[in-house]
Structure 1
Amino acid sequence: MSKKKTFTINDEAQKNSYGFYVQTSGIGTQRFLKNPICLADHSNKTKDVLGVWTELKETGVILSGIPNFDTKDPEGLEVVRKVEGGVIKGCSMGIRFNPKDLKMINGKLMLTKCELTEVSIVAVPSNANAVVLYDNSGEVLSDEAIQELCLSAQKSQKPFRTENMKEVTKHLQLSDDASGEAIVGAIKGIEVKLSDALKERDSYKTKFEGLEKEKTTKLQADFDAELALAKKDGRLDAKGETALLELAENKLENALTFLLALPKRKTIKDNLEDEEATLAAFDKMTWEELDKNEMLADLKLNHTEYYNERFKREFGKEPS
């Protein structure tokens, strides 16, 4: 006897020939396990009982089992021989269900609940070809009846819609009963606008970064030029330069502002010219005007030679 083969009884991810899926977790096996008959082609005849199903197991979306064959019927032995030889690899389940359990879920027609009655060895796997459906009285439903039930379930059930979905349609400025096509269209419209907005933002960002770079370059050039000038005219010594460069590393604009605020030192020539201009203004004033405007004390202190000359000119003698 060859090694026993495991059969896939149901795969929730596979659609059957009637156009719907069977939810594996919704398959009731309690009654079936009391009499787990293995039939040939769903034939409910004693001669077509091939054995029983063992090791029935649910793994994710897969329901599987292993047939334990026990038959002396020539036809049955031929089926067993083909199974063990790898010629026949499929099985098909017979189930009872309530039409109300046939529902649309995420765009798929799904049988959410049913009761397993028997599993047959067939030439073609159940999900790919057919699944036998029984009504509550145990009668096999015709293809026409099953198709009518599927069509009815598809037409009668409205798309699943939660309160959150109502919020979505509200924000999209759509009616609560807006179709999926309308919702997708509105979202795509928003995606286009968002994409355009992001492109515009990136464009402004690029321009801004360019202006900032240009501003920084000019600021650095102005700072370097003013620093060189401050060192040349004596406004900044080596110690002051070191401190200023440290400031410039973090606050270049502040460092430039500080540089520009440093008072420029006058040359000897500038000081003499300023002196001459000041004394020339004093020359235009009489001794009495200088005294009246309280300028004599300043002259005596800051312009001693000029004061002595004016005193001698006014009084004919040197000041005491």
Structure 2
Amino acid sequence: MPKPKPFIFNDESVENHYGFFILTEGISLVRFEKNPVMLSNHWNYNESVLGHWENWFIQDSRLLGYPVFDTEDEYAKLIAGKVERNHIKGCSMGIIFDPEDLVYVGGKFILMKCELTEVSIVAVPSNKASVQLYKKDNEPFSDIEIQSLCLSLKNKNSENPELEIKTETMKKITLSLAALAALSFDKSTPEVDVEAVETAVLKLGNENAQLKAKNLTLESAAEAEQETKITAMVELAIKEGRIPATKKDDFVNLAKANFDLAKSTIEGIPAKVNLSTQIQNPTGGATEVTSKEAFLKLSTAEQLQFKAEKPEEYKKLFTKTK
């Protein structure tokens, strides 16, 4: 089978069928990276899983990724064949977003931030005619809800005192001092070209989205580092005999909620003394339990420990040789 071509998950320059654009840098991949599932037409059923995605990347404001089909599944194998023969070329993102992140700028609706949950194989490319929108509780938005949201944003924008459009010319716009400062315009010239305002707003939005995307990446890396640190601390505590292995999950959850409390709790539990080491060298010298006499010099606790941990050696000590 020839090497698969990458699919375009999102192209921020192309309007989707809901009537808005999705900023590529604002797409969070944190959840998707953990489970990059490939569905068929956004059907959230086990039998609709066609495979997964890998090696996704951003190029020219587009988010792309490579498909990996489950060829052991007959339906997935069928779809893979259609893709290989160039009969299917489109995919569609399933995203979760907050309505507050959808803005109306320069006559365009732009989704500044969202979270990618899955990417489906569809007959029509995503930005052209298909994108699945979910609320934070994973419930899909209806077409009416999206239309109402866009209409509300448009009306709100037209009433915004920060951007008062001069209807007689539609070429100039008068900004308040606050808007001039936010967009880095000369405060002494409140009347600015509409195109210049649109460009400045889009630039500001892009910069904000990029910063948020970087913050999400840093947060994800910090979370991974903290999980590694927690696991190492708890596993060491088990190894040292401070806590039983059955309590591992409890201490991991405690550390996730309050790392310092979990650390101090573990440190407050004494480590289990390894008596077998003391038996081999109870005084710190080179003495070992190699005879009955050496065994009898041990304390009662050490004798019991030796008998429990080294039953064969114990038996030899008290077995008469012929």
What TM-score do the two structures reach when normalised by structure 2?
0.51
**How far apart are the structure 2 equivalents of 1:51 and 1:131?**
19
* 2:32 is equivalent to residue 32 of structure 1: yes
Q: Verify the 8 A CA contact 2:40 2:50 in the aligned structure 1.
A: yes
Amino acid at match of 2:94: G
Q: Which residue of 2 aligns with 1:11?
A: 11
**How far apart are the structure 1 equivalents of 2:12 and 2:41?**
21
1:193-212 matches, cutoff 5 A: none
Q: Which residue of 1 aligns with 2:146?
A: 146
Larger displacement relative to structure 2 (33-42 or 53-62):
53-62
The C-alpha deviation readout for 1:61-115, integer Å capped at 9, x for no partner, is: 1100001111433332221110111100000000000000000233321000000
Distance 1:177 1:143, change over 3 A: farther
Q: Which residue of 2 aligns with 1:107?
A: 107
The C-alpha deviation readout for 1:9-41, integer Å capped at 9, x for no partner, is: 000000011110000000000111000001111
Q: Which residue of 1 aligns with 2:85?
A: 85
Amino acid at match of 2:43: S
Larger helix proportion of the pair: 1
**How far apart are the structure 2 equivalents of 1:40 and 1:48?**
5
Q: Verify the 8 A CA contact 1:14 1:128 in the aligned structure 2.
A: yes
**How much has 1:127 moved relative to structure 2?**
0.3
Amino acid at match of 1:19: G
Q: Verify the 8 A CA contact 2:9 2:62 in the aligned structure 1.
A: yes
Q: Verify the 8 A CA contact 2:93 2:132 in the aligned structure 1.
A: yes
Aligned alpha-carbon RMSD (Å): 2.8
**How far apart are the structure 2 equivalents of 1:47 and 1:177?**
59
Sequence identity of aligned pairs in percent? 44
Distance 1:156 1:75, change over 3 A: same
Q: Which residue of 1 aligns with 2:180?
A: 163
How many residue pairs match? The answer is 178
**How far apart are the structure 2 equivalents of 1:3 and 1:178?**
51
Distance 1:180 1:87, change over 3 A: same
**How far apart are the structure 2 equivalents of 1:150 and 1:76?**
37
Amino acid at match of 1:163: L
Q: Verify the 8 A CA contact 2:53 2:67 in the aligned structure 1.
A: yes
What TM-score do the two structures reach when normalised by structure 1?
0.51
Does the residue aligned with 1:95 lie in a helix, a strand or coil?
strand
* 2:49 is equivalent to residue 49 of structure 1: yes
In structure 2, the gaps of 5 or more residues are: 164-174, 198-322
Q: Verify the 8 A CA contact 2:9 2:93 in the aligned structure 1.
A: yes
In structure 1, the gaps of 5 or more residues are: 184-320
**How far apart are the structure 1 equivalents of 2:126 and 2:80?**
18
**How far apart are the structure 2 equivalents of 1:140 and 1:170?**
47
Q: Verify the 8 A CA contact 1:49 1:71 in the aligned structure 2.
A: no
**How much has 1:156 moved relative to structure 2?**
1.6
**How far apart are the structure 2 equivalents of 1:152 and 1:6?**
37
**How much has 1:155 moved relative to structure 2?**
1.7
